Homo-oligomer: A and B are copies of this chain.
Amino acid sequence: MAHPAWLAPTTYAKLRHRFVWLDAFDSPIRASLLGELKRGDAELSDRSQAELHLVIDSGLAPETFRVSGENPTVVAGGDPAGLLYGFFRWLTGNPDELSTGRVHAPAIPIRMVDHWDNVDIHPVMGQVERGYAGSSLFYDDGRLRWNLDRVDDYARLLASVGINAVCLNNVNVHATETTLLTTRLEWVERLARHFRAWGVRVHLSVNFASPIVLGKLDTCDPLAPTVQQWWDAVTDEVYARIPDFGGYVVKADSEGQPGPFAYQRTHADGANLLARAVARHGGRVHWRCFVYNHRQDWRDRSTDRARAAYDHFIGLDGDFDAEVILQIKHGPIDFQIREPVSPLLAAMPHTAVGLEVQLTQEYTGQQRHICYLPQRWAEQVLDFRPWGDERAQWEVVAGRGPGSRPGSIVAVANVGTDEFWTGHPFAQANLYGYGRLAWDPTSDPSAILDDWIRSTFAPLPTVHEALRSMILDSCDLYESYTAPLGVGFMVTPGNHYGPNIDGYEYSPWGTYHFADRDGIGVDRTSTSGSGYTTQYHQPWSTLYDSVDTCPTELLLFFHHVAWNHRLPDGTTVAQHIYDIHFGGVEAVKRLCETWQELRGQIEPTTYDRVSLLLSEQLANAGQWCDTLTSYVWRHSGIPDSDQRPLY
């Protein structure tokens, strides 16, 4: 049986033997709400007797809700989904926050989770690409699962934090997965039925070459009328069977996937082709901007992968149809623990933009290390001020940016058939926090964490405090023993776990640190480097451009400096790396000790799982520390002032 996650049975005590009125309305969501009431042993009653009223209020906008009154309490939703969100917030939320009677509305209209699930087990990537939580909830070795109970549970978890969209397959669309659009559409239809009951619309990743692969056309040129006709017809069929289908997700001309470049067409031509097919049905196209040369010559320092998304797309602003959402990774490289915000996110006022983050911890510990990501997303991305004034990054995707075009927020999924859903039990907090931030990007990630701890563990105050101390700043901790000063990709090629400092250094992937006996870092300045800094608005462009004003944590992302370059606190780069790495390992040891003190106060299965993973985290942190510090020592020749062992 799967772990209940943050919808712990204790949460439902609030419903026990309460009299509840539920409006009659025609939606599968009503059955879901009835199920929730049953789960809490509530009693359905007539309106006059009810202590809790669950009602539709047509005066409210869709997806919004209001909670008011104490006895009776009225939860009113603008539509069934709004009521569902209101119900869950009433059930699990902080009562203080809800008693005001104000209208709660999501800031971002599309709040999505992208699954990198494969139908077939991929020979290299397996059933779930970059999955660290067991197998796929949807597929099992080439086919849809017979039993979709876990999908119901999952959709319920998503709804409980306001997530309203899901993409059902990997953006790398292989042969079998391509056919989900046509011959295997029935599987999509079936999954859509399960998600629909929880207000979640399904999307598909599609193969841009589908007209050739599936349609037997001899082209997939986006400007060929036959190609447009093919997409129109296929899409009509999809909507005939799934009227609330969300739309398409496309990774085109990226890491070997087909795209419009083969026909000398632009990404706008490619995206608009699909946009026209879904537009008639209210669908959207998420077109990914993760486009770069993955066959780069490592010897060529003039090419900079960080520039790629901006350089590819900036000239196309205004060319995209309204149904297109450009899906942009939060940083310019690829989900490293530390990157600056992608400058493209604030550069396309005439285009709807989607912000992509990664729940699955590909580069952030693979759900074996604790890494509470919402803290990073909030502080470094959502609350980033691209123009240096009060306007925050999140406002762009909320439709409050310069172009007032609402977009989306998208996260790559971190769940699987693992009994805890996410491998590491604490990684559940990432999914929970993602949903909460997607609903309200101004939320405090520390308060969200408190809510998650409370809902999941219902712990004593001292235990709550201990859990909080272990989780809240865990990304800082992970960063401290892995990636110093904004350098990334020092991971083992392929699996992306554990240290391999030069693993990507002499490779075609465009991910370098350029360490030598003199120094380390990537010169991305306008004067001597790749000029990537010029992609930012002021003041960032100038701030990043100078080694004196560049934020320390991004120093090596923007600058190549000597090993003995002094940081603002007076330590050299080499000594700083020694200090944070040895310090990081010590901090992981303390994490383990904290956990040991909780023995007996945490349910044993969870306790044991976390214990096991903490040993792995400690061992792996030690490996990171010893490898990276020895690497720096071997290159720089600078001894550690504290004389800790270097090899």
Contacts and interface: CB of A to CB of B under 8 A. Distances in A.
Interface string A462-504: 0000000000000000000000000000000010000111110
B499 A500 contact: no
Given A506-B630, A630-B506, A637 B501 contact: no
A319 interface: no
Given A501-B502, A627-B506, A517 B299 contact: no
A637 B506 contact: no
Interface in A600-647: 623, 626-627, 630-631, 633-637, 645, 647
B299 A635 contact: no
A515 interface: yes
A647 B502 CA distance: 14
A516 interface: yes
Interface in A299-323: 299, 301
A634 B500 CA distance: 17
Contact of A516 (B299, B503, B626, B634): B634
B299 A645 contact: yes
A487 to B, nearest CB: 15
A230 interface: no
A470 B503 CA distance: 33
- Integer count of this chain's copies in the complex: 2
Given A501-B502, A503-B503, A517-B517, A299 B634 contact: no
A392 B183 CA distance: 69
A96 B588 CA distance: 76
B626 A299 contact: yes
Interface residues of A, number: 26
Contacts of A501: 502, 506
A516 B645 CA distance: 16
Of A517, A633, A635, A645, which is in contact with the most chain B CB atoms at under 10 Å from its CB? A517
Given A517-B637, A635-B517, A630 B499 contact: no
Contacts of A633: 516
A635 B520 CA distance: 12
A518 interface: yes
A239 B506 CA distance: 54
A376 to B, nearest CB: 27
Query: Quick one: which of A515, A630, A634 has the most chain B CB within 10 A?
Result: A634
Interface string A225-242: 000000000000000000
A298 interface: yes
Contacts of A500: 502-503, 506
Contact of A636 (B301, B517, B626): B517
A511 to B, nearest CB: 15
Contacts of A517: 517, 634-637
A633 B518 CA distance: 11
18 contacts: A299-B626, A299-B630, A500-B502, A500-B503, A500-B506, A502-B502, A502-B631, A503-B503, A506-B623, A506-B626, A506-B630, A506-B631, A516-B633, A516-B637, A517-B517, A517-B634, A517-B637, A634-B635
Give the 6 A-B residue pairs with the shortest CB-CB distance, closest first. A516-B634, A517-B517, A506-B627, A299-B647, A502-B502, A517-B637
Given A494-B494, A517-B634, 8 more contacts: A299-B645, A299-B647, A301-B647, A506-B626, A515-B634, A516-B637, A517-B517, A517-B637
